[in-house]
Amino acid sequence: MRAKISVTVKIRGKKGFTVTLTIIRKDLKEPFDVSIVREGIDIKSVTVEKLKNGIIFVSVNQFNAKTNEEFSKAISDMILQEPKGLIVDLRFNGGGYLETAVDLLSYLLPTDANAVEIRQRGKDNEMIKTKGGPKILNAPLVILVNEGSASASEITAGSIQDNKRGIVMGTKTFGKGSVQEVENFADGSSLRLTIAKWFTPKGKTVNHVGLMPDIVVEMDKNDVKNKVDTQKDAAIKYLENLKK
């Protein structure tokens, strides 16, 4: 999974630029190159499912430019429904924009709560805080994570954990605690620069170590093969038990 996310990060970039991929196949003796031109892919990043007993399940698969708008609509609908519990699924979410993670946290935490700390060489440490706006604060919250949850997903989970807003459940996350910028050049090449590191509100880093959930729930191969979501089921059971 770590290799998959690393490859995805390298392929992503400004559309219109050419990327050369070196392909290795078992049935061929030599690798070969394939050149592709980056294009925009319009993928809905937020999906909502209303579960039994008033629990709402929200899957966020990436933190892109449209995530805030999509999550805002979902939150508005949720507030009207007065959910008895909320599950935010960040599994296999490789991250995205830091600002979008703060936007999402602004719906789940009080205004001016500590969201994430940025530490950059030559500059003062900056604690980024949540914004105002519509909020869903009363519903018990579970954040689902796994080894595919990276970057902005870890920012979100770490902030919820440090602010004691909810429970983080699943398996240890990927461990990407850096803030990066991408410079694209006319020849199609690009340079990815690490400009800062981020820390949770309580000063913890996940870089290369990952974030440990409050409640560890493993998924084995049989679960995946049989399409059984043990982690989702555990989150539902946890929220249901809170009401007893």
Asked if 236 contacts 160 with a C-beta cutoff of 8 angstroms, the reply is: no
Q: What is the residue whose two structure tokens read 């560890």?
A: 216
Name the 3-class secondary structure at 216: strand
Say which of 151, 153, 159, 232 is annotated catalytic. 151
SS3 170: strand
Residue of 84, 89, 103, 176 marked active site: 176
User: Where are the alpha helices (H) located in the chain, listed in sequence order?
Assistant: 2-11, 67-81, 98-108, 152-162, 221-225, 230-242
Q: Cα(211)–Cα(173) distance, rounded to whole angstroms?
A: 5
DSSP secondary-structure letter at 52? G
Query: Rounded distance, CA 200 to CA 114, Å?
Result: 9
Question: How many Å apart are CA 60 and CA 48, to the nearest integer?
Answer: 9
Which ranges in 88-162 belong to alpha helices (H)? 98-108, 152-162
Measure Cα distances from 81 to 53, 55, 76, 89 in Å: 12, 10, 9, 19
Q: Are 134 and 71 in contact (CB under 8 A)?
A: no
Cβ atoms 90, 149 nearer than 8 A: yes
The catalytic residue among 106, 149, 162, 232 is 162
Quick check: is 176 catalytic? yes
Catalytic residue ranges: 151, 162, 176
